[in-house]
Structure 1
Amino acid sequence: MIELSGLTKRYGLKTAVRELTCVIRPGLVTGFLGPNGAGKSTTMRMILGLDRPTAGRALVEGRPYARLIDPLTVVGALLEARSVHPGRTAYHHLLCLAQSNGIPRRRVGEVLDLVGLGAVGTRRPKGFSLGMGQRLGIASALLGDPRILIFDEPVNGLDPEGIHWVRNLIRRLASEGRTVFVSSHLMSEMALTADHLIVIGQGQLLADTSMAGFIEENARSYTRVRSPDREGLLDALTHAGLDAVPSRDPGAEGAWELEGDRTAAVGELAADRRLVLHELGHHRASLEEAFMRLTSQSVEYQAHVGAEEG
């Protein structure tokens, strides 16, 4: 378990993280979301003792990271996959980590095989591709078979097969009762992986809820209906007191949309009026749309469509 209590970090006049309080629990994949500059990396660095909080505290298994004995057996982390000694082979990079934490030598070969690098363990990481470097970083995180895993952009640079592998690995680790904390900008991947979400903006907590609860609270829910008799359908909806607007989806030209799930009411109305329907369904916005809606006022850098180039 990871506990953050009033966690705050200031750099001069800038507050990167402001009074962040939450609990990352075992047995779940907890997604950590926020716009660029929201304070995600700073938060993770404070959890791992790499940055000292200005105020508040971050506890791992009930104590600060600096007070852990053999920390790699408690917490495994992937923050910067390229943070390896350029002169060491992949095997010796992991062996050095293992020996400093009392981890058996055999574990090095096990994690290299687990991440698919067993055949290149004698190569130096400076020649690795981005995806191979990412796999080595994941191997480092898994080396001590820790109870807590922290991953920052774990699928960065991976091909589709690698992304699928990481997704299954993360979910398996959580199913074993471990605490898994994952930061990613890939909303589609997070939607497939995370059980719980912690969302921050400008260093402040915006949401701490289940994936389903987050989408329910922040995503638009609507009913889309389409008929060859478009105006007849609108007239029927209006007379029934059902407010409809033209669909905003370019792929649903000619359709009407109603807020919420009104499929039953619209279906019964169409049957009574003998209206032919080509489409009737309830839709809910994606995680990405829900995230954009919640964080729209917390984005530090915004591009403006149509802005003149200087």
Structure 2
Amino acid sequence: MIELEHLTKRYGEKLAVDGLTFTVRPGVVTGFLGPNGSGKSTTMRMMLGLDKPSSGEVRIDGKRYIDLKEPLRYIGGLLEARGVHPGRSAHNHLLCLAQSNEISPSRVNEVLDIVGLTSVAHKRSKGFSLGMGQRLGIAGALLGDPQVLLFDEPVNGLDPEGIHWIRNLIRDLADQGRTVFVSSHLMSEMALTADHLIVIGQGRLLADTTMADFITHNAHSFVRIRTPQPERLIAVLSAEGIGWDRGDEGSFEVSDVPAEQLGELAARHRLVLHELSPQRASLEEAFMRMTATSVEYHAHTPSENNGTASAGAPGAPPGAEPGSGPGSSGWGAHRKRGEGR
């Protein structure tokens, strides 16, 4: 278990981490999200004793990192995969780590096999690709067979097979009852991997919740309906007091009513449906909405720089129209409010 209590870090006048308090529990994969500059890397460095907090503390299974006699046996971390002497082979790099923590040399071959580097174990790391270096960093994190693991951008540089492998590895580690803390900007991967989320912005805690609750409370899910009898559908929904929105391609979008209930309603009224499909909100959508006011670095498209994007909301994707930005009260440019709302 990892426990943070009022963890704070200042660099001069810059407040990088602002009083973070949360717990990372064993048996689940906890995702760590935040925009660039939000303090994620600084927080993880303090967890591993690489940066000293200005105030507050981090405890690993009840102990400070500095008090761990053989830290790799307690916590394994991947923060910077390229932090390897280029003249050392993968085997010798891991062997040095093992010897410094009184880990059996036989464990070196075990983790090289786990990460798929056995065939290049005695090659110098300077010739490794980004993906191979990433696998070596993961091997270092696993070396002490620790109960607590931290991974910062673990899929960086991996090919599709490697991404599938690390996803399954992380899930398996959590299923073994270990504490697994993963930071990533790849929302699609985080959505497939994490059970719980810690979200920060500008160094402050924004959310500490399950994946399902985070998406439910920060993004929009609805049921899409298409019918050749649109006027009858409007009449039926209005009679039931059910609100609706116009969607694209002549569809209707209904929120807060299960698809099953809508299907039964259509059947009772002999209403022909060509589509009745639940549309689930994405983690990316929920993340963008929650962190919209916490983004420190805003990029702009060339059209915005030329002053031609005034119709779109600030921070909206290229081509977006009014009402489609993360901070907008509308849901999309194509939507029009229904009379039944």
TM range (shorter): over 0.9
Offset, 1:137: 0.3
Tell me how far apart the structure 2 counterparts of residues 2 and 133 of structure 1 sit (CA, whole Å).
Answer: 27
Q: Report Cα offsets for 1:253-280 as digits up to 9, x if no partner.
A: 1111122124344334423433211111
Check 1:98–1:265 CA distance in 2 against 1; reply closer, same or farther (3 A cut). closer
Offset, 1:107: 0.9
Q: Which amino acid aligns with 1:238?
A: S
Percent identical across equivalent pairs? 66
Tell me how far apart the structure 1 counterparts of residues 257 and 298 of structure 2 sit (CA, whole Å).
Answer: 33
Tell me how far apart the structure 2 counterparts of residues 307 and 286 of structure 1 sit (CA, whole Å).
Answer: 26
1:259 to 2:255 alignment = yes
Residues 108-257 of structure 1 aligned to structure 2 (within 5 Å): 108-247=108-247, 252-257=248-253
Instruction: Look up the match of 2:282.
Output: 286
Tell me how far apart the structure 1 counterparts of residues 186 and 91 of structure 2 sit (CA, whole Å).
Answer: 30
Q: Which amino acid aligns with 1:300?
A: E
TM-score (norm 1): 0.94
Tell me how far apart the structure 2 counterparts of residues 304 and 87 of structure 1 sit (CA, whole Å).
Answer: 42
RMSD: 1.5
Correspondent of 2:305 among 300, 305, 308: 308
Secondary structure of the structure 2 residue equivalent to 1:217: helix
Residues 8-47 of structure 1 aligned to structure 2 (within 5 Å): 8-47=8-47
Offset, 1:115: 0.5
Q: Which amino acid aligns with 1:254?
A: G
- 5+ residue gaps, structure 2, are 308-341
Tell me how far apart the structure 1 counterparts of residues 161 and 261 of structure 2 sit (CA, whole Å).
Answer: 44
Offset, 1:3: 0.5
Size of the aligned set, in residue pairs, is 306
Tell me how far apart the structure 2 counterparts of residues 114 and 265 of structure 1 sit (CA, whole Å).
Answer: 48
Tell me how far apart the structure 2 counterparts of residues 81 and 262 of structure 1 sit (CA, whole Å).
Answer: 46
Q: Report Cα offsets for 1:97-120 as digits up to 9, x if no partner.
A: 111110111111111111000010
TM-score (norm 2): 0.86
Tell me how far apart the structure 1 counterparts of residues 61 and 260 of structure 2 sit (CA, whole Å).
Answer: 50
